[in-house]
Copies of this chain bind each other. A is one copy, B any other.
C-alpha cells in the first residue's frame, strides 16, 4: 500500500478501496473542481399511476431494485441502537446469494454486529462508515479483510454522496411514517425518531430508494421530510426498530460530580469569554457532559436575561425547555433524542428539522455549523498541540464514530469538555493515536483540573485573563495527570492500515492501524 505524508504529518494511503485519494492538504486548503453527482433520470411512466408503491416485503423491494453482486447499499442510523432493518437487509442479501456488497450506513452501532458474519462470509465486501463499539473493534483487529474502513463525519458522508465520491445503488431508508407514494417523516408514526436528515443525501442521489415503515398514513404524509418523488418502493412491516432504543422517554444528565463540574466550567467559560450574548448560537449535544453544559448555560442565560438566536441540536428536553422558555428563538434539529424533542418538532414551528447536507456540508454555499458561535464536544484524546482524536482509544482500538464532531469543529469557538483521565488513562497526550481534528480546530479544552486555551486564540485568552476561571496551560494539566496516573504507554499497533479517517472535505487525514 503506497503511503504519503499529508500536511498534518500523518501517513495516509494514496488509494483506498480502489479509489485514488487526496491527502489532507491543511484546513480549508482543498478546493474541489467539477460538478455534483447526477442521479439517474427516472420517468413517471415506470411508476404506478395510482401512486401506490407498496410491495409485499423488503426482499421483494430489494429484488425489484435489481440487487446484485458488488452493489453499494446504504442505510441510516436515526434508530441508533434500535436499528433492526440494516441487519434484515444483509440477511436477505445472504439468503439471495448476493456477494461483495459495500455497506454504507450513516453510522454503525453494536446492534449491527449480526452484519459482521456477512462480512466474514463475503456477502459484504467492506463497510464504509463510522464504526461504534464492536463494529470498530472488528476492523481494528484486522478482521475486515477485503477493504479498508472509511470513517467520515456526518457532513463528510453527505458531501461524499453529493460529490460522487460514493455512489449508492440502493438506499434502504426506515421511516416511522410514510404514505404509499413514499413521502415520509419521523414524527407521525408509532415509533418515532424525529428528523430524518441523515437520509436526505441517500434519498436524492441513490439509484433506487426503498422506504421501510411501520405506519402507512394517508397521502399526503404530513409533514413531509423525505419526498416520495425520489422513492421507488415502500415496504410496510410491523417492526422497524426497537422503540426503547430509538428515542428515550427522558434524557438523563450525567450524575458524575466531576463531569457536572466540567460542564459548569465550560458554561462559565462561554459566559466569561463574552460568547453568551443576545442572539448567539450554540451546538447542543446529547452526551452526558453536553447535556449538563446546555443545562448550566441555560440557567446562566436566564439569570443574565440573555436569549440565544438559535440552537443547533441533537434535540432533547433541555433544548426544548430553552425554546419553550424563550431562551432561544429556534431549534435547528439534526437528530431527536427523546420524546419531548419529537413532540416539539411536531408542534412548534420554530423547531426546524435539518439534514447533514444543509447543516454539515463542507461543499455547500456555507453551512449552519460554520455559523455557530460555540460547540461543546467530547474526545478520546487531545494532544499538547490541541490535535484531537474521537475514534480510537490510547490502546489503538477504534471504538467510536466521528458523527458530527468534525463538522461541529467549525463553530467559532470549539470546546472539548473532557475528563483529564478515564480508567487511569490520561486524555491529554503527547501525540494523539489518531488525528481526527487538526490543532487549529480546537479552541479550548475544559477538564476538571482546569481550562486550557489554544495559544492561537489570543482573543479568548484576552477575554478571560482577568476572570476567576482556572485557566492553565495544557502542558500543566497533562503533567498533573501523569503525576497521578503515570505516563501512558504507546498503543501496540502493526503497520497494517485497516481504516482511514477523512476530513470534512474528503481528503485523507489519518490512517488507523491494526492492533496487535
Contact = CB atoms under 8 A, between A and B. Distances in A.
Interface of A: 28, 30-51, 53, 162-164, 181-182, 209, 218-220, 222-224, 227-232, 279, 309-310, 329-330, 332, 349-350, 352, 357-358, 361-368, 370-371, 410, 412, 505
B352 A229 contact: no
A309 B32 CA distance: 47
Contacts of A231: 365
Contacts of A362: 43-44
Given A231-B365, A232-B365, A366-B229, A40 B47 contact: no
* Interface residues of chain A: helix, strand, loop or mixed (majority): loop
A367 B228 CA distance: 8
Nearest to A371: B51
B31 A366 contact: no
A366 B42 CA distance: 9
A41 B363 contact: yes
Given A309-B218, A332-B220, A352-B223, A364 B40 contact: no
B222 A365 contact: no
A231 B51 CA distance: 33
A204 to B, nearest CB: 9
Contacts of A163: 41
A35 B44 contact: no
Nearest to A50: B371
B34 A365 contact: no
A334 to B, nearest CB: 13
A33 B42 CA distance: 8
Contacts of A37: 35, 38
A222 B349 contact: yes
A365 B28 contact: no
Given A218-B309, A310-B219, A44 B371 contact: no
Contacts of A40: 34-36
A366 B54 CA distance: 13
**Interface-centre pick from A43, A53, A358, A410 (highest chain B CB count, 10 A):** A43
B36 A38 contact: yes
Given A41-B34, A220-B310, A330-B222, A47 B181 contact: no
Given A218-B329, A229-B365, A366-B228, A35 B42 contact: no
Contacts of A361: 44, 229
Given A44-B410, A224-B352, 6 more contacts: A34-B41, A46-B365, A49-B370, A49-B412, A229-B357, A229-B364
B39 A36 contact: yes
9 contacts: A32-B43, A41-B163, A42-B365, A49-B371, A53-B366, A220-B332, A228-B365, A229-B367, A231-B365
Given A39-B36, A41-B33, A329-B218, A366 B310 contact: no
Contacts of A36: 38-41
Contacts of A47: 365-366
B42 A181 contact: no
Contact of A219 (B31, B35, B371): B371
Instruction: State the 6 A-B residue pairs at the shortest beta-carbon distance, nearest first.
Output: A35-B38, A47-B366, A229-B364, A51-B371, A36-B38, A38-B38
